[in-house]
Each structure stands twice: as C-alpha cells, then as structure tokens.
A and B are shown apart, each in its own frame.
Chain A
C-alpha cells in the first residue's frame, strides 16, 4: 500500500495481526507489535520499547528533525542536513563504528517526514499522547485502539516577534490550556501594560511563567521571542527527555524553575563527558560536539536558547566557528 502526502509516496503495508502497518523507508523497515518497535536494515536489526520510540518519533516529527542529531537511543537516530535527513543505525555508536556495521541512508526531508508522520499516527492509539508526561497519559502498549491524530499533530508555537504581541502567537487560557497540576502555585497575574494609542503593537508584555504553566506538552521547545537569529525556545520538562540530542552548534540552557539533571556524552562515541545539575537561575552551554539527555523529577521550566543561523553548522564543520561558546 502506498499513500501520497505532499507529493511524497509513503510505503506502508498491513495491517499486521496487532492492527499496525509496517513501513519501508529506503532499505529501512519498521514494524511494531504490542510492546516493541522493530527496525531493520541490510545486515542489522534493532528493537526499541514502543513507548520510548513513539515519544522520540513525536519530537523528531514536530521539530522537523531539530538542530543536529536526534538519537532515539544509542543506535537509531536522524541527522538533520536542513533539506535532507540521514537516518542511521549505529553511526554514533562506538562499537558499531569500530565493527563497521553502522548503516545510514539520506532522504529528502519530505520523504522521511511524511513516512514518520504516517507511522506516528498509525502506531499511536487513542489514549496515548507521546508529548505528555508518563503520569498524564494512557499506555502506548497493546493492540491498536483507534488513533490520537489531534495529539500527534499539535500546532508548534513559533512566534514571529513575541507571544502576546497583537497578530502573533496568542496567550494561553483556561479554555484551551488549563494550568498543569505541578504548576498550580504559579501566579497567573499579567504585567501592567499601558500603551498610548497607536503603540499597542509595540508596548507589549506577558507572563511567560503563567504561559509555561499551561503547557500541555513536555520536552518540546517552542519559540516565544525572536531577536534576528536568536530564538528563545522555552519548554516544560517532566521525567526524561525522550531523545538524546546531539549538537551541531552551541546551544544554551537557562533553568527558569526547579531542577534538571543533564547527562552529557561525546556526540560521536557516546563516551561520558560530564553531568550537570541545573537549578533556577542557572545558565549553561551545551558545546557543539556533545550529546545530552535531561532528567526532570518535577515538572520544570527550561529556556532553551538557540542561534538559528543556517550558516552555523557549516562554519563549525569547516573549523571556521568554535564548538564552544567562549574561551576564557
């Protein structure tokens, strides 16, 4: 069975005995049963819990493959080349590389995006939300039970100037975004804004913490303010970042509330580099040659700060820009 979306053909077959379709992308083959996602490629096979797989797949799709590498685990992942995407198995795993059994293929972004979107929609049952914290959603396991298209195709906030500015991304309200149970103590009071007539579009302020307290997703950076290529991408975090993010540029974290613990590894080999405990007010850079995964025991607010310059990865790769933010 092949379906065409955005002029891209998605290769699917099935459904299997559990109700799920299989998917083919290049020489990669994807199948799921009640508990696991099975991924195979010429000369290899890998098994992931479908829980973690769907959470990672959700981020990869929603973030348009993000900046750099999205590792689903220590074997499977994607590399964004901004127009094309590499799907790999073992490419950033020291043992796979040394054994020369790593495998990867490059796809035009629409091809892999539409295949992943179709797979995510098909493999997510009606009571499971891959963006939600584990405590706030149903189980991903078992035979297919309907679908949850609304949850897996959420609008991703990308402000053009700043959230709350007239005509830009709107504020969140009780009607659409109730306050999360772990942020019930966050004040909802908005700033006093007195704009003279004619300046309503420029004299603007909003309660970012109240806005974040109403987020219904976890580990999903969304743009709230834009200073040229400098993007504020705050997000609310609970439990474990479902991917291991490999940087292709320096990325910064500002911990706005509570605490996140980061495990930092070498981007290419996975060798341990450092661990960081970040608490409210802390600021730290993630260098351009590492990968990281966060753990948040209580739902917390994290400001991810990105430089979205399209030239950066190439400059770093050619040694024309450093992969550390500053030298002192």
Chain B
C-alpha cells in the first residue's frame, strides 16, 4: 500500500504545541516554548529569547513591515519558519560596533556604505547575516524568524511568560 506522507511545519496561524509529562522533575528546567506562539504574541521585530546556552541565544522574531537597520560584530543566521522575509544588506564603511560586542545593535538612520545585495527567503530558508554588515528585514505579511546569535542589549527574556511551568 502506498502511503502519502504529509510533512508538518507549523505556522503562525496553525501550530500544535507539544507537551511535557513530568514524572520527577521541575518543568522549568526544560524551558519548553513554541516559536510560533511566541512570535504570534510579540511586537514586530522584538527579539525574544526562546533558547539560551550561556552567552548564546536563539531569538524568535515576528517580522512584519520594515525593521530598523541593525549591525553585529559577529555572524548571525536567520531561519524563516513562516512567511516571506526580504533581507537587505549594506557593507558599512567602517564597523559600527567593537569587535568584542555581543549581539546586534540598532543603527540610527540609514547605514553608510556600499549595497551588498538582498535575499528573499521563504519557509525553511536560512540566511547569513554577515558580521559588520548592516541589515534590514521586510515582510509584507507577518512572518516568523528564528535567529542564531549572542545575547545582546536588545534581547528580551520573558521565560515565565513563554515556557511551560507545569506538566500535562
């Protein structure tokens, strides 16, 4: 018998959050959340941590409209998990942040430098946000992005609001 498999990716509009069954542990230790749920409740371009391992974070971002320009001293990586997002890049004439600065920072006004190009990414597409470039995101409709980066000044931690605090 031939089976037709359906791959479930979830979306802002349609996701099924999983669950924890606690036998002998504290559910908070698992920091269990859902990216679509977090992004669906966030303001556009809030950088909400959904994962943290020492200084490193995963940020869930609701992309909607046009973001501010940002830059970072290290590479970051953006995975579009729902919707379509345009990434615009400018090579800054000179780095806007010290080399040891963790996480991205906002650039006031328009970035000064050469246009590097752009990427239009859909669900499942991973995009490099190269170190010391300026980048801006744009989404015509709400989209969800997971960002691999380091905790910065604008990282928001609201664990008690997003994580499961008890088992089923």
Chain A 136-150 interface 0/1 with B at a Cβ cutoff of 8 Å (1 = within):
000000000000000
The residues of B that contact A312 with a CB separation of less than 8 Å are 54
Cα distance A196–B76 when bound, in Å?
A: 20
From A162, A249, A281, A298, B77 is in contact (CB under 8 Å) with A162
A307 at the interface (CB under 8 A from B): yes
B25: A residues at CB distance < 8 A: 264, 273-274
Chain A 226-269, CB-CB to B under 8 Å as 1, else 0, gives 11111010000000000000000110101111110000100000
Which A residues, 264 to 282, have Cβ-Cβ distances below 8 Å to chain B?
264, 271-282
Q: Point out which of A191, A257, A309 has the most chain B C-beta atoms below 10 A from its C-beta.
A: A191
Contacts of B74 in A (CB 8 A): 227-228
In the complex, what distance in Å separates the CA atom of A205 from the CA atom of B31?
29
A210 and B80 CA atoms in complex are apart in Å by 13
Do A258 and B116 contact each other (CB < 8 Å), given the known contacts A276-B19, A282-B17?
no
Q: Does B41 contact A (CB under 8 A)?
A: no
Name the residue of chain A whose CB is nearest to the CB of B57.
A230
What mask results when residues 26 to 60 of chain B are scored 1 for a CB within 8 Å of chain A, else 0? 01111111111100000000000011111010100
Instruction: Find chain B residues with CB under 8 A from A321 CB.
Output: 54
Give the CA-CA distance A210 to B114 in the complex, in Å. Answer: 32
Is A317 an interface position by the 8 A CB rule? no
Residue B139 is within 8 A (CB to CB) of chain A in the complex: no
Residues of B within 8 A of A182 (CB): 5, 7
B63-90 Cβ-contact flags toward A at 8 Å (1 or 0): 0000000000011110101000001010
Tell me the smallest distance from the CB of B88 to a CB of chain A, in Å: 10
The answer to whether A298 touches B75, judged by C-beta atoms less than 8 angstroms apart, is no
**Cα A35 to Cα B50 with chains together (Å):** 45
Residue A207 lies at the interface, judged by CB distance under 8 Å to chain B: yes
Say yes or no for A283: interface residue by CB 8 A criterion.
Answer: yes
Count how many chain B residues have C-beta atoms less than 8 Å from C-beta atoms of the other chain. Answer: 70
Interface residues as binary, A293-311 with B (CB distance below 8 Å gives 1, 0 otherwise): 0000011000001110100
Q: Is A206 an interface residue (CB 8 A)?
A: yes
| Residue A1 CB within 8 A of the other chain | no
Q: Is the CB of B91 within 8 A of A199?
A: yes
Cα distance A257–B124 in the bound complex, in angstroms: 10
A259 to B16, CA, bound (A): 10
**A324–B25 Cα gap in the complex (Å)?**
12
Query: A95 at the A/B interface (Cβ < 8 Å)?
Result: no
- A5 CB to closest chain B CB, in angstroms? 35
Whether A282 pairs with B34 at a CB distance below 8 angstroms is yes
Instruction: Decide if A257 touches B30 in the complex (CB within 8 Å).
Output: no
Q: Which of B22, B116, B117, B130 contacts A274 (CB 8 A)?
A: B22
Q: Which residues of A contact B36 (CB under 8 A)?
A: 281
- In the assembled complex, the Cα of A255 lies from the Cα of B79 at a distance in Å of 13
Contact with B along A191-202 (1 / 0, CB 8 A): 111111001001
Identity of the chain A residue whose Cβ is nearest the Cβ of B131 in the assembled complex: A202
- Is the beta-carbon distance between A282 and B24 smaller than 8 angstroms? no
Cβ distance B139 to chain A, nearest Cβ, rounded Å: 14
Query: In the bound complex, do residue B19 and residue A205 qualify as a contact, i.e. CB atoms below 8 Å apart?
Result: no
Residues of chain B within 8 A of A284, CB atoms compared: 20, 30-33
Instruction: Tell me the B142-159 residues at the A interface (CB within 8 Å).
Output: 146, 148-150, 157, 159
Q: How far is the CB of B130 from chain A (nearest CB, A)?
A: 4
B69 to chain A, nearest CB (A): 16
> A: which residues have CB within 8 A of B?
161-163, 165, 181-187, 189-196, 199, 202-210, 224-230, 232, 249-250, 252, 254-259, 264, 271-287, 298-299, 305-307, 309, 312, 321, 324-328
Q: A205-B126, A274-B21, A298-B5 are in contact. List 7 more A-B contacts (CB 8 A).
A: A191-B127, A202-B116, A202-B128, A206-B125, A274-B23, A274-B167, A326-B52
B residues neighboring A (CB under 8 Å): 5-10, 15-25, 27-37, 50-54, 56, 58, 74-77, 79, 81, 87, 89, 91, 114-128, 130, 133, 146, 148-150, 157, 159-160, 163, 167
